[in-house]
Structure 1
Amino acid sequence: MNVVARIGRPHGIRGEVSVEVLTDMPREQFVVGAEFATEPDIGGLHLTSARYGNGRLLLAFEEITDRTRAEEIRNTRLLAASIDAEDDDAWDPAQLVGLTAKLASDGSIVGTVARLEHGPAQDLLVVSEPSGAEALVPFVHAIVPVVDIEAGNVLLDPPGGLLTDGDRSGNDV
């Protein structure tokens, strides 16, 4: 299950909520009838409507019928199964853990992927460096140009200062 959204403020009095979208595929994910698990667990939520208002995605759920309940579930994360996309850039976070992180410039090993964190702007690879320090690496193509699950590694092209074990970046930004 992947986090696809975080519930924000209530919208109106009938239980509709704004959400922070955390998926690249909102049109495919937020379809009427979709069911979402929740974190923390407040039970499953069944989507009854999805629309955009004032630049925000607004959702209504069968189980949330008034503003009071909508306010109570604020900051709840919505979880859904991965949608099989024909996107070569889609990985299950569990596939990334344990991959060797190497510099794209020279292939030197800079650490191991410890986990994937969902940040407010983009996902972050948490790389455990040899010193024991953890570096937060924005999981964007410009900095992580190659993810090779079969070979067991990711290539990094970090800007200077991103990695704490010395300045070994291949990119002077």
Structure 2
Amino acid sequence: MELVVARIGRAHGIKGEVSVELRTDEPELRLAPGSVLATEPGTAGPLTIESGRVHSGRLLLRFAGVTDRTGAEALRNILLLADVDPDELPDDPEEFYDHQLVGLDVVTTAGEPVGAVREVAHLPSQDLLIVVRPGGGEVMIPFVTEIVPEVDVRERRVVVAPPPGLLEDVPDGDGGTDADGQDGQESR
């Protein structure tokens, strides 16, 4: 199974280095020199990491065959994929791979169904569980311990302790009723 481990960012300098946005908690394992990473179909093809270093808090990589800034810029925004055994688990029991979370049922601490995890969104500040609601629509739940106190992959369940308003239905502006009971549509 292929997992996204990084996204290539801007070129750094003139010798072919690129910055990368990490999508793995194991960069020393997944992004080590000599690692061969797949890319999205139709992009650069497999890339071999020639070297890596940290500069000003950012990981910089150089790939075999990429020797100048022009070649590095051509790789911008390409996702790097590592081949991982689907049964492999992270070393930390509090960490999960995206494929382990997708499809899990989500319930509140009171046992009320919320929906099922459709995907995990990796944002700069934190990860979000995108949960499809049983009646339609979706809700984004911050994947932090305070809100998601329990993940049980074996039981295929995620327990959430949502703060007030997180799971409330938000009007979408298409129909519905407004404060005075009207249907929200204007007549002309």
TM-score normalised by the chain length of structure 1 = 0.85
2:162 is the alignment partner of 1:155? no
2:140 is the alignment partner of 1:132? no
Whole-Å separation in 2 of the counterparts to 1:153 and 1:84: 17
State the match for 1:100 in structure 2.
105
Q: Which residue of the other structure, out of 26, 50, 53, is the alignment partner of 2:52?
A: 50
Whether the 8 Å contact between 2:129 and 2:143 is mirrored in structure 1 is yes
Letter in 2 for 1:65: T
TM-score normalised by the chain length of structure 2 = 0.79
Whether the 8 Å contact between 1:131 and 1:165 is mirrored in structure 2 is no
State the match for 1:13 in structure 2.
14
Q: Which residue of the other structure, out of 122, 147, 150, is the alignment partner of 1:143?
A: 147
Whether the 8 Å contact between 1:124 and 1:136 is mirrored in structure 2 is yes
- Cα displacement string for residues 6-33 of structure 1 (whole angstroms, at most 9, x for unaligned residues): 1111111111111111211222222110
SS in structure 2 of the partner of residue 126 of structure 1: strand
Q: Provide the aligned length of Structure 1 versus Structure 2.
A: 165
- Cα displacement string for residues 86-129 of structure 1 (whole angstroms, at most 9, x for unaligned residues): 2213333333232211112x111111222223323333211111
The 1:50–1:24 alpha-carbon spacing in structure 2 relative to 1, beyond 3 Å, is same
SS in structure 1 of the partner of residue 77 of structure 2: coil
Displacement over 4 Å in runs of 4+: none
State the match for 1:110 in structure 2.
114
SS in structure 2 of the partner of residue 31 of structure 1: coil
Letter in 2 for 1:59: L
Identity of aligned residues (%): 48
SS in structure 1 of the partner of residue 25 of structure 2: coil
Whole-Å separation in 2 of the counterparts to 1:101 and 1:7: 32
Task: Report the alpha carbon displacement of residue 165 of structure 1 after superposing the two structures with TM.
Answer: 3.8
Whole-Å separation in 2 of the counterparts to 1:66 and 1:138: 39
CA RMSD of aligned residues (A): 2.0
Whole-Å separation in 1 of the counterparts to 2:32 and 2:102: 31
